[in-house]
Amino acid sequence: MSAQPSLGEKTQRFVDSICSVNGVVSCALISPDGLIMGKCFRDGASLPSLFAAMCATIMASAEAAAGIISIQSPASVAITAEDAVILVMNAGKQALITAIIETSGDYRYAYQQIAAIATQIAEEV
């Protein structure tokens, strides 16, 4: 009989999967209140705790705005800049994905890959 992976092991597996998506330079799996559950940095990039808290706030604000105008809660929020996209995506009730994606890559493909990982997280966490 094999042992089930711990939550920390699952979290790290998901973070590694997100960070392996072409174009992702940094990512974190965070709680809805902005606590970092796992993170990955590439190319010397960093993701401070304040960034995670702000991303959780962005998603909460988007959900509140959607409620005010009676539409469904957003699955994700994308903040676009000339050189990168900050993506905040729901991954079930217990987690959010934050990812920094270079705009030089195929953003749509990266989004689809991250959305598939978000679905797995929602099922397992």
Overall pTM > 0.75: yes
- Could you give the CA distance from residue 28 to residue 41 in angstroms, rounded to a whole number? 9
Contact (Cβ atoms closer than 8 angstroms) between residue 117 and residue 13? no
Full pLDDT tens readout for the chain, 125 residues: 456 778 788 899 999 999 999 999 999 999 999 999 999 987 666 767 899 999 999 999 999 999 999 999 999 999 999 999 999 999 999 999 999 999 988 899 999 999 999 999 999 87
Query: What is the arrangement of strands in the sheet containing 96-102, beginning at the earlier edge strand?
Result: 36-41, 24-30, 96-102, 84-90, 76-80
User: Scanning the structure block, which residue is given the tokens 């959780």?
Assistant: 56
How far is residue 52 CA from its own chain's centroid? 10
**pLDDT the model gives residue 44:** 66
Task: Give the 3-state secondary structure of residue 41.
Answer: strand
The domain segmentation of the chain, as residue ranges, is 7-124
**pLDDT the model gives residue 90:** 97
CATH code given to domain 7-124: 3.30.450.30
Contact (Cβ atoms closer than 8 angstroms) between residue 122 and residue 92? yes
